[in-house]
């Protein structure tokens, strides 16, 4: 039986990168992919991700695994909808990739700036800084909850098997929602 997904995002590429500060050569290296996933209510939804072309195969196959295993995602909507605010996107538990921005607290460009990083369910998989601060604020990390990532989770293993890094393995600030694959 074919189930028609609920459409959360169906933008054209140019609309999904509108207003980004990224230079043209970065924009030209990106692509837009449609993904289908279950929500926490169990419904099938369609979202979109803006990613670097070089990781498109990984992302398409990993999101097929997400759909097949019914790993729940709250929503998958390009950052333009959040006016390029990572804080607003995280607070909405949004799963996302490209955002031309620096690493929080630094002047260094994030792997998200090149579309080479993905953040998954940030409200369930927060960043926990060395000083104890948690982003998004008010989030809690409870590995047993659906949609939560931990080291032995099949999704984490799949990313790592494909050469990605998982923020849950970072030594200083632990970033449970973050995956990246540097060039
Ligand atoms: Zn991230």
How much distance in Å is there from the Cα of 34 to the middle of ligand 1? 19
Measured between alpha carbons, how far is residue 173 from residues 66, 90, 101, 148, 152 in Å? 26, 17, 18, 18, 19
Residue ranges with strand state E in 53-147: 75-76, 94-95, 117-119, 127-128, 134-135
Q: Does residue 171 or residue 25 have the better pLDDT?
A: 25
> According to the model, what pLDDT value does residue 104 have?
83
Residue 183 banded pLDDT, cuts 50, 70, 90: confident
Residue indicated by tokens 């490209």:
98
Q: What is the mean pLDDT of the chain?
A: 96
The tens digit of pLDDT for each residue in 133-152 reads 999 999 999 999 999 999 99
Q: What is the pTM of this model?
A: 0.96
> According to the model, what pLDDT value does residue 105 have?
83
What SS3 class is residue 159? Answer: helix
How much distance in Å is there from the Cα of 176 to the middle of ligand 1? 9
How much distance in Å is there from the Cα of 128 to the middle of ligand 1? 13
Peptide bond into 135 cis (omega under 30): no
Q: Taking a C-beta distance cutoff of 8 angstroms, is the pair 19, 80 a contact?
A: yes
Instruction: Flag whether pLDDT at 1 surpasses 60.
Output: no
110 membership: H or E segment, kind and range: none
The tens digit of pLDDT for each residue in 151-170 reads 999 999 999 999 999 999 99
């Amino acid at each position: 039986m074919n189930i028609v997904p609920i459409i959360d995002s169906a933008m054209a590429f140019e609309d999904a990168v509108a207003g980004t500060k990224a230079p043209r050569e970065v924009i030209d290296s990106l692509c837009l992919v449609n993904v289908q996933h279950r929500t926490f209510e169990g419904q099938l939804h369609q979202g979109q991700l803006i990613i670097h072309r070089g990781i498109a195969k990984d992302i398409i196959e990993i999101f097929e695994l997400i759909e097949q295993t019914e790993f729940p995602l709250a929503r998958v909507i390009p950052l333009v909808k959040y006016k390029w605010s990572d804080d607003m996107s995280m607070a909405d538990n949004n799963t996302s990739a490209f955002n031309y921005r620096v690493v929080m607290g630094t002047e260094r460009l994030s792997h998200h700036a090149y579309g080479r990083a993905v953040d998954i369910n940030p409200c369930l998989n927060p960043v926990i800084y060395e000083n104890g601060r948690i982003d998004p604020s008010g989030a809690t990390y409870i590995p047993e909850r659906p949609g939560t990532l931990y080291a032995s989770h099949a999704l984490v293993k799949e990313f790592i098997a494909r050469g990605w890094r998982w923020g849950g393995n970072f030594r200083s600030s632990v970033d449970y929602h973050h995956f990246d694959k540097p060039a």
